A and B are shown apart, each in its own frame.
Chain A
Amino acid sequence: MNIIGISAYYHDSAAALISDGIIVAAAQEERFTRIKHDPTFPKKSIEYCLKEANLTLDQLDYIVFYDKPLLKFDRLVKTYIYYSPNGFHSFLRSISVWIKGKIFLKSQLKNELSLLSGISIRELPDLVFTEHHQSHAASAFYPSPYDNAAVLCLDGVGEWATSSVWLGNKEKLTLQWQIDFPHSLGLLYSAFTYYAGFRVNSGEYKLMGLAPYGKPKYVDLILEKLIDIKEDGTFHLDMSYFNYAVGATMISKKFEKLFGGPSRVRESKITQKEMDIAKSIQVVTEEIVLRISSTIHKELKVDFLCLAGGVALNCVANGRVLREGPFKDIWIQPAAGDAGGALGAALAIWNEKRDSSVEYKKCSDMMRGSYLGIEYSNSSIKSYLDSINAIYSELSDSRLLPKLANILKDENVVGWFNGRMEFGPRALGARSIIGDPRSSKMQSIMNLKIKYRESFRPFAPAIKYSRVSDWFEIDRPSPYMLFVAPVNKAKIIFPKNNEQKSNGIDKINDKRSVIPAITHVDYSARIQTVHKSTNPRFYSLINEFEKITECPILINTSFNVRGEPIVCSPEDAYRCFMNTNMDYLVMENIFLSKNDQLKQDKDSSWMKEFPLD
């Protein structure tokens, strides 16, 4: 049975194809269209998935959309009724979008699919719809290694649910309870993201990265005024402080008054206040996730937890649940946001429709490292490079990897384009920029000269799984970079006489460990364990680096500049390489040095294509 799942029309549209329960391909539309968080119909992603599976659209059994648009419309109308006469302008704006298309989304989808495939609407496979949180829950439970697990979905909002708890038992996934709109942990975090001057639905991870610089000064104020959290972790927000239900902004004037001033203007200087705000909301978020985790462990009596929804990308909270929570282990969907909904929708329908006489079997990593996207052969890469007269050499792995290890040791920055593209927001060693974590200058080089992004943002380590406990306080795999854990004490360099040398953002410049480039200001790191089974080339490269440095770690950051989707094709990679201060580029077995390329002026117009996130 072949099923394609689609997520679209909100943000991060994507497609995923499963064949007899095996995840064959999955990709986000933004990678192909080069528009960050592209919400449009995922035409190119669907085309790619079908090509990868060697299928045509009419050979599919089902096409599944990841949420129920009419339930969402129901929520919108009820919300406008409830808050009337407030929200008139928002009503005009959003309902006109709905009546022009979204309310007839089924016809719209069928037309798009018909245009894409060239087959008539009548001949299209059945088009079905799953609920938004059902898609999230399925994306977390079915690919996980567990037969029995609790599933917790936390995001902004789907139809009505903003948080939901499910029980997964073999192929059955049953909703236990939920928290409904407008009370949303995701939207609460986004409100603070907005207040701190970052873009909503995009800058939340910056707020998380900023939190360790601050103090939890506002926690009591948040708990007293903004949110009522019950013992079981369920919560309601005081909506008089928020404007997102029927307004054009996330927060109300009352919110700004409570925190002593207006939102930070985007791109202006980040002050200690923003850092304290970030820390405070991070503490509250962690408290809620920990309380809900404890509740569902007590009530559902299962040993394992699966997480999905945008809040599940909060790897600091995930790390705390892993260390301090009651579950034996946790599995998190790497594409935890809406893109992963495409995969979950397909998996939900497959489990509903499949032949029940066939035994349901799970393996340790059904996501296959999340390397589910497009790949390019050496010949296609060479063909592109020849067309633009780029200068390159082709090297076998036995020559290339030791050479690269030496290049990295000499503090060079390398673009690493290897195998199938990742599905989800993290670069996991398929479309990555890599460097030496031991270098104290690498953090600022990469942030300011290559990624052109804010200096406070930390980088993540990619470490051989077998060595992870030697370097970090974590004893299990973290293949999707979704857990933050402390750097092992043996590797930490504590300041003399317990004196902090720097304040605020400048803290990042203090050397805190023998791997300073990936050690955040609170001595933590966002860990990716690299496994030979899922990414053997990346593993071998780290192995070569370890041979000459005794350090089994590389810095791994996404192959893009600020605001740009992660590179997809050799053309994207070469363009990013040539327009940044990256030193070398490796695409499969093709090796390029910046010094060898013909001198050309940097194309600054290219950067302007990507609005700052």
Chain B
Amino acid sequence: MQNYFILSILSILYFFIIFPIGLLFKIVGYRVVDDRIDEKISTYRVVNSNRNFFIKFLEFIEGIKSKVSNKKKSLSSKDNNDIYPMW
């Protein structure tokens, strides 16, 4: 039952968020993943990997999660000292 619920939510998420964003990106020509073969350039190396797009969103989720769990524990949790977080 729980599985069906999750799959339904994910299907809605896919068709109403993932797919439209993907379509929009295709229309405006924005490559969120670079899968091009380009014979004109001399290297495919990446010096500064673009990781900022979803990080804010992920921080937001983690922030909500921390707030919820902080209700159960002290605010002086060692989590606050993280210098190597999950992202």
Contact = CB atoms under 8 A, between A and B. Distances in A.
Interface of A: 64, 68-71, 73-74, 77-85, 88, 91-92, 95-96, 99-100, 103-107, 121-122, 124-130, 159-161, 177-183, 228, 230-232, 234-239, 245, 349
B61 A103 contact: yes
B71 interface: no
Nearest to B13: A95
A217 B38 CA distance: 25
B32 A78 contact: yes
Contact of B78 (A85, A126, A159): A126
Contacts, number: 146
B44 A80 contact: no
B35 to A, nearest CB: 5
Contact of B43 (A69, A230, A245): A230
Contacts of A232: 42-43, 45
Q: Which of A103, A106, A178 has the most CB of B within 10 A?
A: A106
19 contacts: A70-B86, A74-B51, A80-B18, A81-B18, A81-B32, A82-B25, A82-B31, A82-B33, A82-B35, A85-B22, A91-B14, A99-B6, A99-B10, A107-B69, A179-B46, A182-B33, A230-B41, A237-B35, A238-B37
Which 5 A-B pairs rank lowest in CB-CB distance, beginning with the nearest? A84-B22, A128-B84, A234-B44, A82-B33, A70-B87
Contact of A160 (B6, B51, B65): B51
A100 B53 CA distance: 23
Interface string B19-56: 10111010000011111111101111111010101110
B33 A181 contact: yes
Interface of B: 3, 6-7, 10-11, 13-14, 18-19, 21-23, 25, 31-39, 41-47, 49, 51, 53-55, 58, 61-62, 65, 69, 73-74, 77-79, 81-87
A316 to B, nearest CB: 24
Contacts of A106: 79, 86
Contacts of A71: 51, 55, 86-87
B6 A100 contact: yes
B73 A122 contact: yes
Given A88-B14, A92-B10, A183-B44, A107 B65 contact: yes
A183 B73 CA distance: 43
B87 to A, nearest CB: 4
B3 to A, nearest CB: 8
Contacts of B33: 78-79, 82-83, 181-182, 245
A128 B83 contact: yes
B86 A230 contact: no
B45 to A, nearest CB: 4
A236 to B, nearest CB: 5
Nearest to B87: A70
Contacts of A125: 78
Nearest to A238: B37
A125 B87 CA distance: 19
B87 A81 contact: no
Contacts of A82: 22, 25, 31-33, 35
A180 B73 contact: no
Contacts of B43: 230, 232, 234
A68 B86 contact: yes
A228 B13 CA distance: 35
B74 to A, nearest CB: 7
A180 B74 contact: no
A238 B36 CA distance: 8
A105 B86 CA distance: 9
A183 to B, nearest CB: 7
Contact of A178 (B21, B39, B46, B78): B46
B87 A84 contact: no
A81 B22 CA distance: 5
Contacts of B78: 122, 124-126
Contacts of B23: 84
A350 to B, nearest CB: 13
B54 A74 contact: yes
B87 A104 contact: no
A321 to B, nearest CB: 19
A129 B42 contact: no
Contacts of B37: 228, 236-238
Contacts of A92: 7, 10-11, 14
Contact of A126 (B25, B41, B81): B81
B12 to A, nearest CB: 11
A458 B87 CA distance: 42
A539 to B, nearest CB: 41
Contacts of A183: 35, 44
Given A74-B54, A106-B86, A122-B78, 5 more contacts: A70-B85, A84-B19, A91-B14, A122-B73, A128-B84
Nearest to B47: A177
Given A84-B18, A91-B18, A78 B54 contact: yes
A6 to B, nearest CB: 13
B45 A177 contact: yes
A354 to B, nearest CB: 14
A129 B83 CA distance: 9
Contacts of B55: 70-71, 74
A349 B82 CA distance: 12
A159 B14 CA distance: 22
A84 B24 CA distance: 11
A245 B36 CA distance: 14
A126 B82 contact: yes
